[in-house]
Amino acid sequence: MIPETSEHLEAAFASKRVLITGGLGFIGSTLAHRLVRLGSRVLLVDSLIPEYGGNLFNVHGLEGSVQVNISDVRDEHSFRYLVQGQDYLFNLAGQTSHMDSMRDPYTDLEINCRSQLSILETCRKYNPGVRIVFASTRQIYGKPEYLPVDEKHILRPVDVNGVNKMAGEWFHVLYHNVYGISACALRLGNTYGPRMRIKDARQTFLGIWIRLLLENKPFEIWDGHQLRDFTFVDDAVEAFLLAAASRSVAGRVFNLGGDGPISLKQLGDLLVDIADGGTYIERSFPPERKRIDIGDYYANDESIREALGWKPRTGLRDGLSETMTYYRQYRQHYL
Ligand SMILES: NC(=O)c1ccc[n+]([C@@H]2O[C@H](COP(=O)([O-])OP(=O)(O)OC[C@H]3O[C@@H](n4cnc5c(N)ncnc54)[C@H](O)[C@@H]3O)[C@@H](O)[C@H]2O)c1
C-alpha cells in the first residue's frame, strides 16, 4: 500500500541532513522550500554561474533556515567534505541549455557527465549510505518513435546535452547495480513554475514567453502544432521526495508527465488568456534549433504512479496562473 504523502514524507525527512546540488536553481530551490517545511537540515550547493538558473532570490524567506555553499560540483575536493554526513543527496546541478551544449560541448561534458561520475565516486568513498535522486531529462529519448513515451523507449539523444545527461543518469544506475549505492533518476519533461529562469530561453522557452508577456512585447511560437506536456514544479518536487523516501526504487528510472499533451499554439493562447492580453508571432524553427529539435513529446508516467503513488496534481491553467502571479510580483529579481 502506498502511504499518505505528507506524514510519510515528514517521517522520512524531519531532522535529516539533505544536500541539494543546484540548490539555488529553479527546481532545487523549490525542493529546499519544501524540505525546510518538512523539518530537514538543508545544505545547498550551487556555483551561481550567471548563464544558468541559479539565483539567490530563489531562497528568499529561507535565510537562516538553510546553509548555502557557493561551489562548483566540478571541484571534487570540496564535494568530498560537503557530502559527508548527509542522509540524502538531490543531485540537480546541471547545464540545461541544449543550444549551449552544442556551442560549448566540453563544459556540458564536464558538468553533466564527468562531474556526475566524480559525485558518485565521492559518495562511494565517503558516504556510501547516502540516498540519491538524480534529475535526468526526457531529452535523452531524442525524437520519439511512439507516444506517449515510456521508459522502455530507445535512448537516442539529438544533442550533446542529451548524451551527457544520459551518461550522468546511467552512472547513477551503475553505481547502484555495482556498489549498492541507493540512487534512482527522474526523467523530467518541461517543468515550469515560480523561480524558473525567465531572462532568456536557456532553461525553457516558456520563461522568455512569460517575460515578454509581462513586458507587453510579442513572444515567438515556433511550430505551434508541436505537442508537449508540462509538469508544475511542486509536482516535480513531490516526485523527488517520494523517490528519495522509498528504498524500493533504487536503481530505477522514472518519467514524469503533466496535465496531458497540449500544442504550443494552444499553450500560447492559454497564457495570453491568463495574462488577460498579449500577442505572439508564429514562425518556423530557426535552422540551428531545428537540427536538435525532438518534435512532439509527451510522457507515459504510469511507472512512477504505480511504484510511488505519484501523480501530477496541478492543472496547467492553475500552474501558469500561479507562475504569472509570482513574476508580476518578483520579476525584477529575475532579469
Ligand atoms: N526545468 C526543466 O524543465 C528540466 C527538464 C529536464 C531536466 N531538468 C534537470 O533538472 C535539473 C535542475 O534544473 P532546473 O530547471 O532547476 O535548472 P536551473 O538552471 O535553475 O538549476 C540548475 C542549477 O545548477 C547549478 N549548477 C550548474 N552547474 C553547476 C556546477 N558545475 N556546480 C554547481 N552548481 C551548478 C546552476 O547554477 C543552477 O542553479 C538539471 O539537472 C536539469 O538538467 C530540468
Strand 88-91 relative to strand 17-21: parallel, antiparallel, unpaired? parallel
pLDDT at 6: 77
For residue 8, how many other CB atoms are within 10 A of its CB? 16
Q: Which atom of ligand 1 is nearest to the CA of 55?
A: 39
pLDDT per residue, tens digit, the chain (335 aa), is 454 567 899 999 999 999 999 999 999 999 999 999 999 999 999 999 999 999 999 999 999 999 999 999 999 999 999 999 999 999 999 999 999 999 999 999 999 999 999 999 999 999 999 999 999 999 999 999 999 999 999 999 999 999 999 999 999 999 999 999 999 999 999 999 999 999 998 888 999 999 999 999 999 999 999 999 999 999 999 999 999 999 999 999 999 999 899 999 999 999 999 999 999 999 999 998 899 999 999 999 999 999 999 999 999 999 999 999 999 999 999 99
**Element (H or E) spanning 190, and its range?**
strand 190-192
Tell how far CA 269 is from the center of its chain.
25
Pocket of ligand 1 (CB under 6 A): 21-22, 24-28, 45-49, 52-54, 72-74, 92-96, 111, 135, 137, 188, 190-191, 197, 203-204
Ligand 1 atom 7 nearest Cα: 137
- 199 C-alpha to ligand 1 centroid (Å): 15
pTM of the complete model: 0.97
CA distance 305 to 249: 12
Q: For 106, phi and psi rounded to 5 degrees?
A: -75, -35
Which pLDDT score, from 0 to 100, does residue 203 have? Answer: 82
Altogether, the residues listed in the chain come to a count of: 335
In this structure, are strands 190-192 and 230-232 parallel, antiparallel, or unpaired?
parallel
Closest CA to 275 of 331, 224, 233: 331
Of all protein residues, whose CA lies closest to atom 19 belonging to ligand 1? 53
pLDDT at 4: 53
- Residue 25 CA to ligand 1 center (angstroms) comes to 6
Query: Which atom of ligand 1 sits closest to the CA of residue 191?
Result: 3
From ligand 1's centre to the CA of 214, what distance in Å? 24
Distance 286 CA to ligand 1 centre (A): 25
Ligand 1 atom with the smallest distance to the CA of 96 is: 43
Please tell me the predicted confidence (pLDDT) of residue 202.
Answer: 85
